[in-house]
Amino acid sequence: MTESSIAIMILFGTLIVLMFIRIPIAFSLGISAVVTALYMDIPLMNLFMKMVTSLQNFVIVACPFFVIMAQVMGDGGITKRLMKFCNLIVGRIHGGTALVNILVSMLFGGISGSSTADVSSIGSMLIPAMVDEGYDADYSVAVTVTSSLEGVMIPPSQNMLYYAVASASGISISTLLICGFTPGVLLTLGLAVPAYIVARKRNYPLSEKFPRGERLKVTLDAMLGLGAIIIVVVGITFGICSATESASLAAVYAIAITLLFYRSLNFKQMIKAIKAVTPIMSMSLAIIAASNAFSYVMTSLRVPTLLAEFLLKLSSNNNVIMLLMLVLMLILGCFMDMGVLILLSTPILYPIAVNSLGWNPYQFGVILVFAFAIGLCTPPVGTSLFIGCKIANIPVESSIKAFLPFYIIMLILLILFTYIPALSLGLPTALGLL
């Protein structure tokens, strides 16, 4: 066995052991990188420089602004207003509350950019409400958890930012975010199909009808909340501002409307909401720094090259190799946190997909993020799945059967996003971004 092979075993073996004994992931990544660097006589200063320079990236500044925007608008009651608006649109269809759930996840996803935030906020309100209306708990969880993935795809998406940073290729984060818009909408429409079919089959109830005089008020209330999404999407799409600048403007807008228009938060509550996101951002930045040190060691050991050579030996057909990579991503997504997985796997898989197979880097970003997102609602580690089941107070194993039609739709969409580039690249191309 070569020295390089032993070093690779030390790198990943140390990481697995540390994660197994529940050492925080940032420390696990950092310690694994340091131990392997010591074995290979890689200067530790190189690792520390990688950690520091990885945080000196203007794109990363967008993350705290997006998180602040989501926290403020969530605490400010935007979610409830969006739910009322969605109920106004689709509530009178069979299984209307389920369709409201799916639609509001698309709108809220454009605010939070996070699946777990979606399930925690929307799920805590809609899952009990659906059960009270007569929906089965497993169906309610399945709809809530799978629809929360829309926030991972639709701008602003924190995970798209992680992919852009981890690829280290200089791709435009603004263009990448727009690439996720059409797939996010298609995911919304796709999930609505099994939700409606099951609702008709089980004869789930219709939602209450809104009085005519209340409809305009509900619409205007929701439009103010959706202004943050408009700032991000329009600002990025038409080149008015960068992703980071649009994130900061959206955060200021969120603070302004919750303080001055809705008056749902006072100044003291606003400061509390902003303080609440500090631990989240500290953890994210620590993971980004540690993952860059880990990736540096992986690159030094030629891990991406060795994996590429292995895959290319299995088949000479690019489509077959990409299919194998999809299976690998789906499996990995079942066992690791999504953000960490993107930061770890992108430096390995990106060179294979883009350099060896010739895939478009933006399309591959959509594929990778969506494949890992599916892992959020699959056991044994699916974060969103466990949150949804906890809210409904049901065991995970009893909910899996209800997820099956939604899993099928998501897998079909993943194949379509992979082999039909226009689904992710069409909109940015039409807007002149590609």
Task: Convert the pLDDT of each residue in 173-210 to its tens digit.
Answer: 888 988 998 999 999 999 999 998 998 888 887 766 66
CA–CA separation, 228 and 234 (whole Å): 10
When the pLDDT of each residue in the chain is averaged and rounded to a whole number, the result is 83
Instruction: Give the pLDDT of residue 415.
Output: 95
Q: How many other C-beta atoms can be found within 10 angstroms of the C-beta atom of residue 192?
A: 22
Instruction: Give the pLDDT of residue 208.
Output: 64
In a domain, 37, yes or no: no
- Count of domains in the chain? 1
Instruction: Give the pLDDT of residue 117.
Output: 67
Distances from the Cα of 354 to the Cα of 297, 333, 362, angstroms: 21, 21, 10
CA–CA separation, 257 and 264 (whole Å): 9
Q: Could you tell me the two tokens for 299?
A: 């690159």
In a domain, 241, yes or no: yes
Helices 303-314, 338-350: axis angle to 10 degrees equals: 70
In a domain, 20, yes or no: no
Which of 88-92, 189-193, 269-273, 422-426 shows the lowest mean pLDDT across its residues?
88-92
Contact 423, 167 (CB under 8 A): no
Give percent of the chain above pLDDT 70.
93
In a domain, 220, yes or no: yes
Instruction: Give the pLDDT of residue 388.
Output: 85
Q: What is the mean pLDDT of residues 371-384?
A: 83
7 has pLDDT over 60:
yes
Which of 55-64, 342-351, 423-432 shows the lowest mean pLDDT across its residues?
55-64
In a domain, 340, yes or no: yes
pLDDT band (50, 70, 90) for residue 19: confident
More confident residue, 172 or 170: 172
Instruction: Give the pLDDT of residue 97.
Output: 79
Q: Could you tell me the two tokens for 180?
A: 């996720």
Q: What is the mean pLDDT of residues 59-66?
A: 73
For the segment 326-349, what is each residue's pLDDT rounded down to a tens digit? Answer: 998 888 888 777 878 888 888 889
In a domain, 39, yes or no: no
pTM: 0.83
Domain that holds residue 421: 59-285+302-430
pLDDT band (50, 70, 90) for residue 113: low
Q: How many helices (H) and strands (E) does the chain have?
A: 24, 0
In a domain, 239, yes or no: yes
Q: What letter does residue 209 receive in the DSSP assignment?
A: P
412 has pLDDT over 90:
yes
In a domain, 50, yes or no: no
pLDDT band (50, 70, 90) for residue 230: confident
